[in-house]
């Protein structure tokens, strides 16, 4: 995007391919595709787009005359140097094309960090991070954070360290999912 003004035709071609990749991901999200379907669709649809994109970037970096310090030169070099990391998501249905969801979940904590820097005691920042991590994990697993924490805090006094793995948001969500079909 940052190189678009410098080399609109080249950047436009690259951005079009990226748009196609995101369209595949949007369709998979809309279908609520499972891991297996994600892997199959990505292999059939995303891999050819990625191969085309890689060839385009290689040709542009060889034939176009972008200086290494120009925005387009830096973008092409970065893409080629990071290529294996950029395409790993097509091999594993659990992975996403980007980390936007995580970044958006962390944004409130990042914005509040400066405001919270001097609250309470020296360990307050660490405890705040722990609490926010638990809350975001509850949201990620579809749990109501208030209900989860109320249940957790009522059970903790009688728990041992070995039982903690059984009360993480992920473990509780799996347990609830397992119980729902049996209740039906």
Is residue 3 situated within a structural domain? Answer: no
Report d(CA 132, CA 73) in Å as an integer.
Answer: 39
pLDDT at residue 145, as a whole number: 94
Same domain, 77 and 12: yes
Q: Averaged over 116-128, what is the pLDDT?
A: 71
Which carries the bigger pLDDT value, residue 169 or residue 106?
Answer: 169
Going by pLDDT thresholds of 50, 70 and 90, the confidence category of residue 148 is: very high
Chain centroid to Cα 81, Å, comes to 21
Q: Averaged over 110-118, what is the pLDDT?
A: 66
Q: Give the residue numbers spanning the domain of 76.
A: 8-91
Same domain, 69 and 113: no
Q: What is the tens place of the pLDDT at every residue in 6-54?
A: 888 999 999 999 999 999 999 999 998 998 999 999 999 999 999 999 9
User: What are the residues whose beta carbons fall under 8 Å from the beta carbon of 46, sequence distance 6 or more?
Assistant: 21, 24, 90
Same domain, 83 and 21: yes
In this prediction the pTM is 0.63
Indicate the residue among 91, 124, 152 that finishes a domain.
91
Is residue 2 situated within a structural domain? Answer: no
Indicate the residue among 31, 64, 91 that finishes a domain.
91
Same domain, 79 and 120: no
Report d(CA 150, CA 97) in Å as an integer.
Answer: 35
Same domain, 81 and 133: no
pLDDT at residue 18, as a whole number: 96
> How many domains are contained in the chain?
2
75, 2 in Cβ contact below 8 A? yes
Is residue 99 situated within a structural domain? Answer: no
Is residue 69 situated within a structural domain? Answer: yes
Indicate the residue among 62, 91, 120 that finishes a domain.
91
pLDDT at residue 176, as a whole number: 86
pLDDT at residue 184, as a whole number: 47
Report d(CA 50, CA 17) in Å as an integer.
Answer: 8
Same domain, 40 and 79: yes
Compute the mean pLDDT over every residue in the chain, rounded to the nearest whole number: 87
């Amino acid at each position: 995007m940052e190189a678009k003004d410098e080399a609109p035709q080249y950047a436009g071609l690259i951005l079009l391919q990226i748009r196609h990749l995101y369209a595949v991901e949007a369709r998979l999200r809309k279908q609520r595709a499972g891991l297996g379907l994600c892997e199959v669709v990505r292999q059939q649809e995303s891999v050819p787009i990625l191969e085309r994109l890689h060839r385009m970037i290689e040709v542009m970096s060889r034939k176009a005359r972008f200086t290494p310090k120009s925005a387009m030169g830096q973008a092409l070099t970065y893409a080629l140097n990071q290529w294996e990391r950029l395409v790993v998501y097509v091999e594993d249905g659990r992975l996403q094309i980007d980390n936007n969801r995580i970044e958006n979940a962390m944004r409130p904590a990042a914005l509040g960090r400066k405001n919270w820097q001097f609250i309470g005691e020296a360990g307050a920042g660490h405890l705040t991070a722990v609490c926010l991590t638990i809350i975001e994990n509850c949201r990620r697993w579809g749990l109501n954070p208030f209900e989860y924490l109320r249940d957790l805090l009522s059970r903790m006094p009688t728990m041992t360290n070995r039982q903690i793995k059984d009360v993480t948001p992920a473990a509780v969500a799996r347990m609830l999912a397992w119980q729902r079909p049996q209740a039906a």
